[in-house]
Structure 1
Amino acid sequence: MEGRQRARDIYRQALPVVLLSLVAGLFSGTLLGTETMRTSIERVPGILLLLPAFLATRGGVYGSLGARLSSGLHQGVIPPQITLDRRIVNAIVASFVNGITISVFIAIITYLTLLVSGAGGDLVRLVGIMLVAGGLSAVLMLSVLVVVVFVGYRRGLDPDNLIGPVVTTLGDVFGVAFLLVGIRAVEVIL
């Protein structure tokens, strides 16, 4: 009986977030299909090539932060409120650095792929776009994820049930939007 109750609790906690994630994913796809995004993609060779890697790494980098915070809360090694605890700060800084580093790495790999395929590309432009998009997504995802983990935990929800859908939703919706912002910002600067 306890196994069934545990399964019901997990579904009760995660289902609203998963449904929100579904709607947000549809919005993200709609944003990707807009005329503005299509013209931006056409102006910058390699954007479609780096998009899946960029979106996928948001989940990997920030999902691991959520898992660390959740484990720390469950084990009692970090306090259940947002503080400047050394463990919390170190985890956030590490995730920020990893997010930016992987964004730049994706831009470099995309450029090399374009070079090898003969499609040409602009390394400075790709790195600039990814720095803007990676930085903006890092700030947003870190802020929201930390709040969701701690507020959810204090309200009796298991953060492990919330992290995946929240990271996926934020990564997809804002990842696409921030790529567009990055393209626009680099066009203004360069």
Structure 2
Amino acid sequence: MHPTLKRILKESIPLLSICLILGTVGGQLLNARLEHLSLLPVFLVFVPVINGVGGNLGCVLGARVSSGLHLGTIQPKLKGKELKQNILVYFLLGIITYTTISIFIWIGIPLLGIRTDLSFMKFSGVLLFAGGLLVCLVVLLVLSTAFVSFKKGLDPDNTVLPLVTSVTDLAGISCLILAMGVIGL
């Protein structure tokens, strides 16, 4: 077996096992709250969206931080111009993306035959709160995973991306449920 492949498997398999468990927990959480969510079916549309966007944006940030660590343009510290720029762009992308998605979902709800008594402000408030919270959690996850992996001699590309996608599945659902509670739904 090629040494690079062996290293990737050695670094990835234990983490992927953890990711499998996280995915299962996320599914169970969604299942446990399904009755509550089905009272407001408009938010069921948002579950795959918040998870997908959170994971995708998190992977972009993770790949950029990992590449910066490999190239030496980012140090495993919470300092540096390039790291701050990447985090700022990630936050801006998150805000723009979740705002745009909330508008399109709101417009698309009647087309799907879903009726809601919620105002646009309450609806978008839940989605933006959940998305904003997820963005913050993903930044913490990406930076801590990338920095710890890099310091321990592991390739952050093999650890950050699988962990981000699995954790966002669990965290996205949790953030949505929390946001619904905070907004009073």
Q: Is residue 104 of structure 2 the alignment partner of residue 109 of structure 1?
A: yes
Q: Which residues of structure 1 form unaligned runs of 5+? A: none
Distance 1:168 1:77 in 2: 25
Unmatched 5+ stretches in structure 2: none
1:44 alignment partner in structure 2: 40
For residue 97 of structure 1, what is the aligned residue in structure 2? Answer: 92
Task: Decide whether aligned partners of structure 1 residues 155 and 167 sit closer, same or farther in structure 2, where only a CA change above 3 A counts.
Answer: same
Letter in 2 for 1:57: V
Bigger shift: 104-113 or 64-73? 104-113
Which structure has more relative contact order (CA 8 Å, sep 6+)? It is 2
1:18-64 CA-to-partner distances (Å, cap 9, x unmatched) read 11110010000000011xx2233123231111211211111111100
Write the letter of the residue equivalent to 2:71: Q
Instruction: Describe the SS at the equivalent of 2:41.
Output: coil
Instruction: Map 1:4-43 onto structure 2 (within 5 A).
Output: 4-34=2-32, 37-43=33-39
Q: Say whether the 8 Å CA contact 1:54–1:106 is kept in structure 2.
A: no
8 Å Cα contact 1:40/1:183 also seen in 2: no
User: Hey, what's the Cα distance between the residues in 1 that align with 2:93 and 2:21?
Assistant: 28
Q: TM-score, normalised by structure 1?
A: 0.90
State the SS of the aligned residue for 1:46. helix
CA-based RMSD: 1.5
Q: Name segments (4+ residues, structure 1) moved above 4 Å.
A: none
Identity %: 28
Larger displacement relative to structure 2 (97-106 or 176-185): 97-106
What is the match of residue 125 of structure 1? 122
Whichever residue aligns with residue 99 of structure 2, its letter is V
Q: Is the 1:54–1:175 Cα contact (8 Å) retained in structure 2? A: yes
Are 2:98 and 2:128, in contact at CA under 8 Å, matched by a contact in 1?
Answer: yes
1:150 equivalent in structure 2 = 147
- SS of the residue corresponding to residue 82 of structure 1 reads coil
